[in-house]
Amino acid sequence: MVERTADAPKAPVDPPPPTYYSSRPEAADDHVARAVAGDRVAIERLLGTIRPLVVRYCRARVGSFASADDVAQEVCLAVLTSLPSYRDQGRPFLAFVYGIAAHKVADSFRNFSRNRAEAVPEVPESMDTAAGPEQRAMQGELSDQMATLLRVLPEKQREIVVLRVVVGLSAEETAEAVGSTPGAVRVAQHRALLRLRKEISGASG
């Protein structure tokens, strides 16, 4: 009589990592180390986190003065290209992204007259593009008017309003990005919003 041997247990198979994108700005830091090391899943998640923030920033800063979405594509591509040489300096990764975005926006203003017919390579869309009410008010159809309105502010106040209200960074993250303190960021934001309210009241009065 031949004895039956029990089948050897199969090794568990790890499920594929879920594809998800977080709308939390600080979530970018969760994926940076592995993305820098070349982990494709981490790169995808990092891009999915920063892309909607970059788009919000560019639409608020650029409006129709240039193609805000093209500038956002350039920012995302520049971030991806810079990943292999990125070194953590103890600052939020979004401060690094903001530095690239600010330069690209400045370039778009300087080069507005040049021919931008050359297509910009596409970067995958994020699945999470949710924005709060204040953010939605500064996007879409109002992006042109808002970009024009923001230009009445001093440069630093303008950047703070965009990063805080449009992108959704905390006061601490914004302070890291613009080289200030959280308290100074809150004061600057308060003054900037007062100035904008006066401008809006004057325009409608």
Q: pLDDT of 4-15, one tens digit each?
A: 555 544 444 444
Q: Which two tokens stand for residue 28?
A: 């970018």
Per-residue pLDDT band for 122 (boundaries 50, 70, 90) equals very low
Contacts of 92 (CB under 8 A, 6+ apart): 26, 28, 29, 173, 176, 177
What pTM value is reported for the model? 0.67
Tens-place pLDDT, residues 83-106? 999 988 888 898 899 999 999 988
- Residues sharing a CB contact under 8 Å with residue 93, sequence separation 6 or more, in sequence order: 28, 29, 32, 46, 50
Confidence (pLDDT) at 112? 62
Domain boundaries along the sequence of the chain: 25-113+131-204
Q: Which residue has the higher pLDDT, 6 or 163?
A: 163
pLDDT grade, residue 128 (50/70/90)? very low
What is the per-residue pLDDT for 110?
A: 79
Model pLDDT, residue 11? 44
Decide if pLDDT at 65 tops 50: no
- The percentage of residues in the chain with a pLDDT greater than 70, rounded to a whole number, is 68
Q: Which residue has the higher pLDDT, 150 or 181?
A: 181
Rounded to 5 degrees, φ, ψ at 129 are: -115, 25
pLDDT tens for residues 11-44? 444 444 334 445 565 667 888 999 999 999 999 9
CATH topology of domain 25-113+131-204: Arc Repressor Mutant, subunit A (1.10.10)
